[in-house]
Chain A
Amino acid sequence: MKNIWWKILTVLLLLFTVFAGLMSDVPRLAILNETIRNLYFHVPMWFGMILILLISVVYSIRYLRNPTIKNDVIAHEAAKVGILFGVLGIVTGMEWAKFTWGEYWSNDPKQNAAAIGLLIYFAYIVLRSSFAEQQQRARISAVYNIFAFAALIPLLFILPRLTDSLHPGNGGNPGFNAYDLDSSLRMVFYPAVLGWTLLGIWIVNVRSRFEILRQRIYETV
């Protein structure tokens, strides 16, 4: 229980995010209006997703170097939590897009990229479920995880910059800093990113400990 401090920090940060995010003053901007508060919920989902998927890939690489059940379980659980964050990010983003861009889905390159990214990880889950043997499943899905992540990076970071996007920072739209400069937004935004990401890591942590314990019980029975 000596590592409990970051869990307390997560709870405090998220409480702060929810209260300050909904109650504090936000700048009045045309079109955005009050929906700017979604900044505290939508954007951190993407930060969290990228980081957690990165964890998944790192553990896949570690699995190939050192095949233990622990590495495989963490890679798998992190991919699942990454999907959860991705779905939440898409849903919150669609809600936001409805009020600011007028449509839930407006063929924006970043929206499309996010959807394709999710498809890759759904495929990862399907691939995993099509193997019966544990060792083979772990090795081959680790290979696919690394391969897909290497193909996903250009998608997420290069493609939206080549075409026009409605998202800030692309295709002539002002970047984050143009209206993020408001210090009251930053006061909540950075803790929100940290809080949601830590929550994701916490979920991965609990789930993989649970999974490892379960496998151990199966082995002994």
Chain B
Amino acid sequence: MRKINAVLFKEILYLIQKDLVLEWRQKYAFNGMLLYVGSTVFVCYLSFGLRQFSDDSGPIWNALLWIILLFTSVNAIAKSFMQENRGRLLYFYSIVSPQGIILAKIVYNTLLMLLLALICFVFYAFVLGNPVQDIPMFLLSLLLGAVGFSTSLTMISGIASKAANSSTLMAILSFPVIVPMLLMLIKMSKNAMDGLDRGASLDELLTLLAINMIVVTVSYILFPYLWRS
């Protein structure tokens, strides 16, 4: 048993390394995402004119940031399985276990999302002003958001990549699954924005962790069935 675990762990490390190297070599994908984030934030700035911050625009600031992050992550993660061509998938199929692939993809997408979310937050706060009072807590909610989005979207992207019109399908399959997570994240980050006592967000924090764990476990169990086809 321990030996299998060690093999799985090694596989995951190799696959993450492979994804990172691929990303590094074809920088256009990552740069594209950066530009996507940047232009979305700028469009929001131009169309909402939120620079002059009043007390009641806090919820809008928060909701807008999360909506930008949601669309960014759907776009960034959608390509995680569609990008690979058939031949390469067949090659992976013959040498690594499906569990290794899904876990590696989840970890890799989490790293990607963390980076994107951080850049997005910094740029957003720079352009639209920063009303956040409890920055560490807000960053924690960004972290949970990145983990949550990447775990659930990776599996959905695997499902959607098998179908015909995968980009539309990606959106309609993922939004209902993401919404509970999104609502809780918005609530938690709003608490952090207002600088509330950290204990106030404990419920959301635990529920988010629990949902993430459920999603990862279900992905781990279900992915082999998806992979086989």
A contacts, CB < 8 Å to B: 64, 113, 116-117, 119-120, 122-123, 126-127, 130-132, 135-136, 139-140, 142-144, 146-148, 150-151, 154-155, 158-159, 162-163
B226 with A140: CB separation less than 8 A: yes
Residues of B within 8 A of A132 (CB): 164
- Interface size of B by CB at 8 A reads 33
Given contacts A122-B172, A130-B165, 11 further A-B contacts (CB under 8 A): A64-B222, A119-B176, A126-B172, A127-B163, A130-B163, A131-B162, A139-B228, A140-B226, A147-B219, A151-B214, A162-B203
Residues of B within 8 A of A119 (CB): 172, 175-176
A126 with B207: CB separation less than 8 A: no
B180 with A154: CB separation less than 8 A: yes
A136 with B229: CB separation less than 8 A: yes
Q: Mark B163-189, 1 if CB is under 8 A from A, else 0.
A: 111000100110111011001100100
B204 with A116: CB separation less than 8 A: no
Residues of A within 8 A of B204 (CB): 162
A131 with B164: CB separation less than 8 A: yes
* Contact pick for A136, options B162, B203, B211, B219, CB 8 Å: B162
A-B contact pairs, 8 of them (CB 8 A): A116-B180, A119-B172, A119-B175, A131-B162, A139-B229, A140-B162, A147-B159, A159-B183
Nearest opposing residue in chain A for B180, CB measure: A155
B218 beta carbon closer than 8 Å to chain A: yes
B222 with A146: CB separation less than 8 A: yes
Nearest opposing residue in chain B for A151, CB measure: B177
B68 beta carbon closer than 8 Å to chain A: no
B207 with A148: CB separation less than 8 A: no
